[in-house]
Amino acid sequence: MDEDKIGEVELREPVLLYKDVLICPLCGEKSLEVSSYLYTVDYFGRILITRGICTNCGYKFRDVKLAEPTRPKKIIVYVRGEKQLRYLLVKSAYAYLAILEKGYEMVPGPASTGFITTVEGVLLRFQEALSIACKDSVNERCREEEEWLKRAIDGLERFTLVICDYEGASKVVGDDVEEEPLDDYCIGKKPEWLEFP
Ligand SMILES: [Zn+2]
């Protein structure tokens, strides 16, 4: 992905907040170059993008979250077609994401990283995961899910995208977006190891 442009949205005026060389979690050498930049994004506010690359083993990560955290919340996007596919979203590292009608989910793990993309970008991630899962099989279920994702990416399917944002560091920008307090559904999806005050 282009680091400085997401969809039609420009990431403007990056400000370097932090830069250091840390111990790499993979090889254990002090060769992990980490930098955090603050970006201002149209309609979105300020987001923090942290990148790390190990000059010894090549380990890489990128993390994205809101620079000014909000309250924990449940975000619901009613996708009806192409318009909502263009909505920009930040999913922070420890947020849970699901497409309700399909049971597709992104369950946070201790090594999860956040990302900024569009609703379409989320579908593309599920499509990529599916193509890996279905690589060596040609069963009916794989075929059906591939077809559904293809139609959804073309704006031909209606679905509900939900983010359970336990740390208040996620956001979706758009007209058909609702925010509610975390409910039983989100509490039930929260990983046991995840603790926020
Ligand atoms: Zn390393």
Contacts with 92 (C-beta within 8 Å, 6 or more apart), sequence order: 64, 65, 66, 114, 165, 167, 169, 170
Residue 142 domain boundaries: 73-189
Q: Do 44 and 102 share a domain, yes or no?
A: no
The CA 62 to ligand 1 mean position distance, Å, reads: 15
pLDDT at 33: 97
| pLDDT at position 158 | 97
Task: Find the 23 Cα to ligand 1 centroid distance in Å.
Answer: 8
The pLDDT, as a whole number, for residue 5 is 61
- What is the model's pTM? 0.86
Ligand 1 center to 59 CA (angstroms): 5
Ligand 1: centre distance to CA 60 (Å): 9
CA of 123 to the centre of ligand 1 (A): 31
pLDDT tens string 29-51: 999 999 999 988 877 788 999 99
- Percentage of residues of the chain with pLDDT beyond 70: 92
Q: How far is the CA of 97 from the centre of ligand 1 (A)?
A: 29
Ligand 1 centre distance from Cα of residue 18 (Å): 19
> Do residues 47 and 104 share a domain?
no
What is the reported pLDDT for 108? 94
130 and 99 inside one domain:
yes
pLDDT score of 2: 45
151: helix, coil or strand? helix
What is residue 1's predicted lDDT score, i.e. its pLDDT? 40
Out of 48, 66, 84, a domain closes at 66
Separation of 157 CA from ligand 1 center, angstroms?
A: 42
CA of 3 to the centre of ligand 1 (A): 22
CATH of the domain at 101: 2.60.120.1040
- The radius of gyration of the chain from alpha carbons, rounded to an integer in Å, stands at 18
Q: Are strands 73-79 and 177-180 parallel, antiparallel or unpaired?
A: antiparallel
* 23 in any annotated domain: yes
Give me the number of domains the chain comprises: 2
Could you say which residues of the chain have pLDDT below 70?
A: 1-13, 196-197
pLDDT at 58: 96
Q: What is the pLDDT of residue 192?
A: 86
